[in-house]
């Protein structure tokens, strides 16, 4: 991707996503962000960010968000206990990306998601089991989301698996692993810079790396 390209962001006001737009602007990208309540953004909103008010549950809003974009970053999130919509939202995003011929998708999910080929150490296996026990609907839906993403061979997707996310500075020392979580936490600024790096790197296309610091 070149710097005059536009990135569409979902979940850019959330804990994970709140620095993604800034990281994209810093690299010279244009940014369009879908937000439900623009009022929430008044403080610290960069005027270069194009804001689209709407919901990720609405197909027309997603289509407007993605129009003319070259990559999509999906950091959509829901409170625990809400009926999970991850697979529904992601499925709609990928369908519309296909329609609009947008090829790069970068999404996030939890490190408790276990995929074929993983070799999680015991502690991470136990963590994943506890998530399955306490949040069965969410984990099931996130498994479904991952399976849907994997079907889109024509889209250059990356699904990033995250540990506990903290507010904090960028460390610049991200540990990456394909089969096990290499740490317990990561800052949202580190996540933002890792995500934006993926827009120009091919290393994790069609892969689901774990990252941590």
Ligand X SMILES: NC(=O)c1ccc[n+]([C@@H]2O[C@H](COP(=O)([O-])OP(=O)(O)OC[C@H]3O[C@@H](n4cnc5c(N)ncnc54)[C@H](OP(=O)(O)O)[C@@H]3O)[C@@H](O)[C@H]2O)c1
The contact set with ligand X (CB under 6 A) reads 10-17, 34-37, 40, 55-57, 75-78, 108-110, 162, 164-165
**β-bridge partners, 34:** 10, 52
| Three-state DSSP class for residue 207 | strand
For ligand X, give the closer residue by CB, 28 or 93: 93
- Alpha-carbon distance values, 121 to 109, 142, 174, 182 (Å): 19, 21, 19, 10
| E strand or H helix at 71 | strand 71-74
Q: How far is the CB of 113 from ligand X (least distance, A)?
A: 9
For ligand X, give the closer residue by CB, 6 or 61: 61
For ligand X, give the closer residue by CB, 44 or 101: 44
For ligand X, give the closer residue by CB, 9 or 102: 9
Task: Report the residue number whose CB is nearest to ligand X.
Answer: 14
Q: How far is the CB of 55 from ligand X (least distance, A)?
A: 4
The 8-class DSSP code of residue 164 comes to E
Q: How far is the CB of 104 from ligand X (least distance, A)?
A: 18
Which residue pairs, CB below 8 angstroms and at least 24 apart, start in 93-99?
93/10, 93/56, 93/62, 93/66, 94/148, 94/149, 94/152, 94/155, 94/157, 96/59, 96/62, 96/63, 96/66, 97/66, 97/72, 97/155, 98/152, 98/154, 98/155, 99/63
Asked if 10 and 179 touch (Cβ cutoff 8 Å), the reply is: no
The 8-class DSSP code of residue 172 comes to S
Q: How far is the CB of 12 from ligand X (least distance, A)?
A: 6
**Token output for 111:** 């490190």
Q: How far is the CB of 4 from ligand X (least distance, A)?
A: 26
Q: How far is the CB of 191 from ligand X (least distance, A)?
A: 9
For ligand X, give the closer residue by CB, 83 or 153: 83
Distance CA 29, CA 21 (A): 9
For ligand X, give the closer residue by CB, 92 or 155: 92
């Amino acid at each position: 991707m070149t710097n005059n390209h536009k990135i569409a962001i979902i979940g850019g006001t959330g804990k994970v996503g709140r620095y993604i737009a800034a990281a994209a602007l810093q690299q010279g990208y244009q940014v369009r962000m879908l937000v439900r309540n623009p009022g929430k953004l008044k403080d610290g909103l960069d005027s270069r960010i194009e804001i689209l008010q709407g919901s990720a549950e609405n197909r027309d809003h997603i289509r407007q968000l993605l129009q003319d974009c070259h990559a999509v970053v999906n950091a959509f999130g829901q409170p625990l206990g809400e009926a999970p919509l991850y697979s529904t939202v992601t499925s709609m995003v990928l369908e519309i990306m296909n329609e609009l011929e947008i090829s790069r998708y970068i999404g996030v999910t939890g490190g408790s998601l276990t995929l074929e080929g993983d070799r999680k150490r015991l502690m991470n296996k136990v963590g994943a089991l506890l998530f399955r026990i306490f949040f069965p609907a969410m984990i099931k839906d996130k498994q479904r989301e991952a399976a849907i993403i994997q079907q889109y061979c024509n889209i250059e997707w990356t699904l990033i698996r995250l540990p506990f996310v903290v507010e904090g500075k960028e460390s610049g020392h991200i540990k990456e692993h394909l089969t096990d979580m290499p740490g317990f936490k990561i800052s949202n600024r580190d996540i933002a810079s890792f995500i934006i790096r993926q827009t120009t790197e091919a290393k994790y296309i069609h892969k689901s790396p774990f990252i941590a610091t």
